[in-house]
Structure 1
Amino acid sequence: MNKVDVSLIIFKNEVVKMLNFLEAIGNRIEILDRVDTWEEAVRIGGKLLEKDGIVEPNYIDKMIEVCKELGPYVVIAPRVAIPHARPEDGAKSFGVSLLVIRNGINFGSYNDPVYLVISFATPDKESHLEFLQELAEILQDSEKLAEQFISFKDKEEIKDYIKKFFSKVNT
């Protein structure tokens, strides 16, 4: 295999990552100025998943219940939370939603306030692993990412940013 072949393989892998990430989110992106509670934020993210048939209604309640039981462990980085529940709690397929909260919301974490609520569901314990790796890449500077996302006017700008991010990773 020559250098060009290797470059094409790397490029192909990055394009696949970008497409996987965008496919996982689909049109499940909402931008709000504010929410009153972290529970409301989780519920909105869950409703985006439910609307597309990715989860059953009880999955949303389970996401909130898990956060109450285990604390704000879902706030994985400054300004970012990834609420979820177990596959058996009503996940029908793999999917992700993104809620951008311009004024932020507190989950009770040292990483508060949260501006990006990335809810996800997976029907098994493996389907989401690749997505989490991609998420880790894009969240390397979560504070800068949150600043970018809260400045966007609509979900198309967010999708364009994701495309550009994975394009830069490749160069």
Structure 2
Amino acid sequence: MAINLAEELSSITIKAAAADWREAIRLAGNGLVEAGSTTGEYTDQMISAVEEHGPYIVIAPGIALAHARPSEAVLKGGLSWVSLDAPVSFGHSKNDPVTLVIGLAAVDHTAHIDVLKAVAGVLSNKEARAELEAAETADEVRSILKRINN
């Protein structure tokens, strides 16, 4: 089943300020909490996952997909989008610094994989990615993603 990122995004923050990678993940987690997708505990789990396993969530140059294993802290599936005003380092040898953090709350492994495929498909399109990076409002991000998915 194809995922429409424009429809799945429950929170979009543009040009956010983050002092470090933990704060960047916290911003993505706050969007998931505010949308009712997760509890604050899930945000802590996302940070712990990076502390334990390293910056594996930095999936492409400039992009982090913040997530943790499905748990009771995930109330429903959701995505948050945080573009950073200034890039932050996650400690990844090839893909730092990060300017976009996508928060992912998945209820199961299948949903997690489906969202990964959708994100990869959109962000591998160089023109679309440039447009998304230049977006100045949440509505612009949604509009670009809707156009790409059609």
Q: What TM-score do the two structures reach when normalised by structure 1?
A: 0.79
1:15-94 pair list within 5 angstroms: 17=3, 20-26=4-10, 28-88=11-71, 90-94=73-77
Displacement after TM superposition at 1:71 (Å): 0.6
1:75-114 pair list within 5 angstroms: 75-88=58-71, 90-109=73-92, 110-114=94-98
> What is the alpha-carbon distance in structure 2 between the residues aligned to residue 126 and residue 106 of structure 1?
29
Sequence identity of aligned pairs in percent? 32
**More helix per residue: 1 or 2?**
1
Displacement after TM superposition at 1:102 (Å): 2.8
Displacement after TM superposition at 1:95 (Å): 0.5
Q: Tell me how many residue pairs correspond in the alignment.
A: 149
**More strand per residue: 1 or 2?**
2
| CA deviations over 1:48-92 (Å, ceiling 9, x no partner) | 101121111111011001111111000000010001011125111
Structure number with greater Rg is: 1
**What 5-or-longer segments of structure 2 have no aligned partner?**
none
Q: 1:125 to 1:140 in 2, by over 3 A?
A: same
Matched residue, 1:136: 120
What amino acid maps onto 2:41 in structure 1? N
Q: Secondary structure at the match of 1:123?
A: coil
Displacement after TM superposition at 1:150 (Å): 3.4
Displacement after TM superposition at 1:153 (Å): 1.6
Q: Secondary structure at the match of 2:111?
A: coil
Tell me if structure 1 keeps the 8 A contact 2:37–2:74: yes
Give structure 1 regions of 4+ aligned residues with deviation exceeding 3 angstroms.
Answer: 141-144
**What 5-or-longer segments of structure 1 have no aligned partner?**
1-12
Matched residue, 1:165: 148
Q: 1:71 to 1:142 in 2, by over 3 A?
A: farther
